[in-house]
């Protein structure tokens, strides 16, 4: 009996690597600490009522952001482990199998479990406030979306210590990821972690499309919306078209592994290239899904900190929506070497060049907005200005990669790695950092320390260029990605050493951001105005942090940047617009069903990972029961009385 338990444990838990043992200890100690703190301060009830069951879009947004920052730490550690392995030739810091697992998890975590939730967090924080809504269209669905993302992320990360991580690359190309070549459960963790979180992402896309189209304040026509809300609409439309492709593709791969189907293996008429086409039909729009909202953030920040209207509003809207459409016609540039022929390659090369045009339009719009503006160099603006040269370089190297004959040389080299990170870090990460600093006072009611933030800014930016500029040269020298080691005779040592130093500088920059947040909580500089940046859009017209109902009375919008125009009218001595009388506010009730339902999905996914139908089926039954329970629950809303609204408004505006 004891031998059987030992045999099971040796296959169930990941063993044999000191790094894994260290992670095991850290996870256990962290869990003990969390449980101890919540128990000591008797906060379990508060945690359940105020956060875990909340349907308030602002709290859901904060939970997305916290999860994203944790995943940024995890993905960043993976990156530093890879750079440590590559710092010198013939290094044996990581075993090749472990290196494969780390670059796989790094890519998945950074795109799907860091960038996506950080994006959704900013969606939730800003969009309802910008359009004058009291919540999203479907608050229950919003909570369910978050918990599905969270449970999917936890299931994927569990593979680090149980079963073994996936090692087939972040897009899991077959035949390597078929059962014959990846017999372990790592690939199944990949499939089910992404499937569960992907369902939540699809729901979020639907939710925000309906919110933006149907819940705007009176008078806010589409062409009067803030640019960030436009970018969210473009991104959400792309989500609802792209994510079903991912869902179906991974379902087919699971059928190959679980039932012995042959969709993507050459046996019985399958074709691995079909998978690669399908995954990139989702994968390339996914890049634009995460970068479009960053473009919206830059538009808000540039306009606010230049004290000018955004230059070329209509052209910016057209650029965002055209990128959303054209992004579905560029996927094959990821594999010009497939052998589809000159005509196919030419089509996708031209479409890739075309999509660079609206991106260039936006760059000029931002520069012309800053032209002759009264620029204030606060942290959101610094991150925006750092983005522009970084993204221009990334765009130029992207056009180089779109030239099919050139791509035959660049393909799978470190030139491609450098380009991808130039766009994803310089565009997405810098954009979301700008958004975090910009909307932080609206989330929490205090600003972040500028001095520590500037240290983090410069460390991130210097580290970025030190890390990735050498990788362009390494790619041109012939270094291909996924190498776990290389020889002294390659001549790659010096550039890899420099690149590794840059990676650690970015890591130090992240630590400064953590220090900045903790320092700002300790020495809190409260925002008593609700408008610390002298903003232009509706979210700055209410107290910080925003009340649970957002707006005491429904705002009315007459033009773009309506709040800015209202402030100008008041400064000119005009009387403020009269506000309607307070009325009871209709709000949704909290619900525990989303977290329970997502937990059932986690159980089902875990069962499918290990082929334990005795666990998977009860998990799916739990999902069905939750659906039925919600279907027959009619007590889903309530009204906030006028007296409570008056008390809340008086308390919130006491310091104004």
pLDDT for residue 556:
93
Measured distance CA(28)–CA(25) in Å, rounded: 5
The neighbouring-strand residues paired with 162 are: 13
pLDDT for residue 4:
77
DSSP 3-state assignment of 159? coil
E strand spans, 532-608: 585-588
Measured distance CA(501)–CA(508) in Å, rounded: 11
Judge contact between 481 and 413, C-beta under 8 A: yes
- CA geometry: angle 322, 326, 330, nearest 5 deg: 155
Supply 650's token pair: 């008086």
Judge contact between 637 and 138, C-beta under 8 A: no
Alpha helix (H) residue ranges in 131-181: 139-158
Judge contact between 363 and 392, C-beta under 8 A: yes
Measured distance CA(335)–CA(407) in Å, rounded: 9
Measured distance CA(208)–CA(123) in Å, rounded: 8
Supply 557's token pair: 């919008």
Residue whose token pair is 């080299």: 413
Judge contact between 369 and 310, C-beta under 8 A: yes
CA proximity to 213, closest of 194, 193, 236, 192:
236
Q: Hey, what domains does the chain have and what are their CATH numbers?
A: 53-591+636-653 (1.20.210.10)
Ordered mean pLDDT values, 10 residues apiece, the chain (656 residues) = 74 80 86 94 95 97 98 96 96 94 96 97 98 96 98 96 93 94 94 97 98 96 97 98 97 95 89 95 96 97 97 96 96 88 92 92 96 95 97 92 90 95 95 98 95 98 98 96 94 97 98 97 90 96 94 93 93 85 94 98 97 96 97 94 92 67
Phi-psi region at 560: left, alpha or beta (left = phi > 0; alpha = psi -120 to 50): beta
Q: How far apart are the first and last CA of the chain?
A: 70
CA-to-CA separations, 607 to 147, 163, 473, 613, in angstroms, rounded: 18, 12, 46, 6
611-619 contacts at long range (C-beta below 8 A, 24 or more positions apart): 611/258
Q: Is the bond into 114 cis (omega within 30 degrees of 0)?
A: no
pLDDT for residue 655:
52
Judge contact between 266 and 306, C-beta under 8 A: no
Measured distance CA(323)–CA(317) in Å, rounded: 10
Measured distance CA(250)–CA(478) in Å, rounded: 32
Q: How many CA atoms lie within 13 A of 27 on its CB side?
A: 13
Measured distance CA(55)–CA(597) in Å, rounded: 15
* Backbone φ, ψ for residue 491 (5° rounding): 80, 20
CA-to-CA separations, 240 to 108, 135, 200, 216, 415, in angstroms, rounded: 20, 21, 11, 21, 32
Judge contact between 200 and 147, C-beta under 8 A: yes
E strand spans, 322-457: 446-447
SS3 string of 264-299? CCCHHHCCHHHHHHHHHHHHHHHHHHHHHHHHHHHH
Supply 444's token pair: 């929490």
Supply 429's token pair: 């990460």
Give the helix/strand (H/E) hosting 517: helix 493-522
Q: What is the dihedral of CA 508, 511, 517, 520, to 10 degrees?
A: -70
pLDDT for residue 20:
82
Q: How many residues does this entry show for the chain?
A: 656
**pTM of the predicted structure, to 2 decimals:** 0.97
Judge contact between 566 and 540, C-beta under 8 A: no
pLDDT for residue 340:
83
Measured distance CA(154)–CA(584) in Å, rounded: 40
Supply 620's token pair: 């799916």
Measured distance CA(73)–CA(67) in Å, rounded: 10
Q: Is the bond into 545 cis (omega within 30 degrees of 0)?
A: yes
């Amino acid at each position: 009996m004891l031998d059987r338990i030992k045999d099971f444990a040796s296959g169930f838990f990941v063993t044999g690597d000191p790094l894994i043992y260290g992670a095991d200890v850290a996870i256990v100690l962290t869990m003990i600490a969390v449980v101890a703190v919540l128990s000591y301060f008797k906060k379990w009830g508060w945690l359940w009522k105020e956060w875990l069951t909340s349907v308030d879009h602002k709290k859901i947004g904060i939970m997305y952001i916290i999860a994203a920052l944790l995943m940024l730490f995890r993905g960043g550690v993976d990156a530093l482990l890879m750079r440590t392995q590559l710092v010198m030739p013939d290094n044996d810091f990581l075993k090749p199998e472990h290196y494969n697992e780390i670059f796989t998890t790094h890519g998945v975590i950074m795109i799907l479990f860091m960038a996506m939730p950080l994006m959704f967090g900013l969606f939730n924080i800003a969009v309802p406030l910008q359009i004058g809504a009291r919540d999203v269209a479907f608050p229950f669905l919003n909570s369910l979306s978050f918990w599905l993302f969270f449970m999917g992320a936890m299931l994927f990360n569990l593979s680090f210590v149980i079963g073994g991580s996936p090692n087939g690359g972040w897009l899991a190309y077959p035949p390597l990821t078929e059962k014959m070549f990846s017999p372990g459960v790592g690939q199944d963790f990949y499939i089910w972690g992404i499937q569960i979180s992907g369902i939540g992402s699809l729901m979020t896309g639907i939710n925000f499309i309906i919110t933006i189209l149907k819940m705007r304040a009176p008078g806010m026509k589409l062409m009067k919306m803030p640019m960030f809300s436009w970018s969210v609409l473009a991104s959400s439309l792309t989500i609802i078209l792209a994510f079903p492709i991912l869902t179906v593709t991974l379902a087919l791969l699971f059928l190959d592994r679980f039932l012995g189907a042959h969709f993507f293996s050459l046996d019985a008429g399958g074709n691995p290239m079909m998978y690669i086409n399908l995954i990139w039909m989702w994968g390339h729009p996914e890049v634009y899904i995460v970068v479009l909202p960053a473009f919206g953030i830059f538009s808000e920040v540039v306009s606010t900190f230049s004290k000018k209207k955004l230059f070329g509003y209509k052209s910016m809207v057209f650029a965002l929506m055209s990128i959303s459409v054209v992004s579905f016609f560029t996927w094959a540039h990821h594999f010009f070497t497939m052998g589809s022929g000159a005509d196919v390659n030419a089509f996708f090369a031209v479409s890739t060049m075309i999509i660079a045009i609206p991106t260039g339009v936006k760059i000029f719009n931002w520069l012309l907005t800053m032209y002759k503006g009264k620029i204030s160099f606060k942290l959101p603006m610094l991150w925006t200005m750092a983005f522009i040269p970084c993204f221009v370089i990334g765009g130029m190297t992207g056009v180089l990669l779109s030239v099919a004959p050139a791509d035959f040389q660049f393909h799978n080299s470190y030139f491609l790695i450098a380009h991808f990170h130039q766009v994803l870090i310089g565009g997405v990460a810098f954009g979301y950092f700008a958004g975090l600093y910009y909307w932080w006072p609206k989330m929490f009611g205090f600003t972040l320390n500028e001095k520590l933030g500037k240290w983090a800014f410069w460390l991130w930016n210097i580290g970025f260029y030190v890390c990735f500029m050498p990788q362009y040269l390494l790619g041109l020298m012939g270094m291909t990605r996924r190498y776990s080691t290389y020889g002294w005779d390659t001549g790659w040592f010096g550039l890899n050493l420099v690149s590794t130093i840059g990676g650690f500088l970015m890591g130090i920059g992240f630590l400064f951001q953590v220090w900045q947040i903790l320092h700002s909580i300790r020495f809190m500089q409260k925002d008593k105005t609700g408008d610390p940046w002298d903003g232009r859009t509706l979210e700055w017209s209410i107290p910080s942090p925003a009340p649970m109902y957002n707006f005491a009375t429904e705002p009315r919008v007459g033009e773009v940047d309506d709040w800015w125009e209202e402030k100008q009218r008041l400064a000119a001595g005009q009387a403020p617009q009269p506000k309607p009388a307070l009325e009871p506010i209709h709000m949704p009730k909290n619900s525990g069903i989303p977290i329970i339902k997502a937990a059932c999905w986690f159980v089902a996914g875990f069962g499918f990972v290990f082929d334990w139908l005795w666990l998977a089926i009860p998990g799916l039954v739990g999902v069905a029961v939750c659906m039925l329970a919600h279907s027959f629950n009619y007590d889903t809303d309530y009204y906030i009385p006028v007296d409570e609204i008056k008390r809340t408004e008086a308390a919130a505006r006491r310091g104004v």
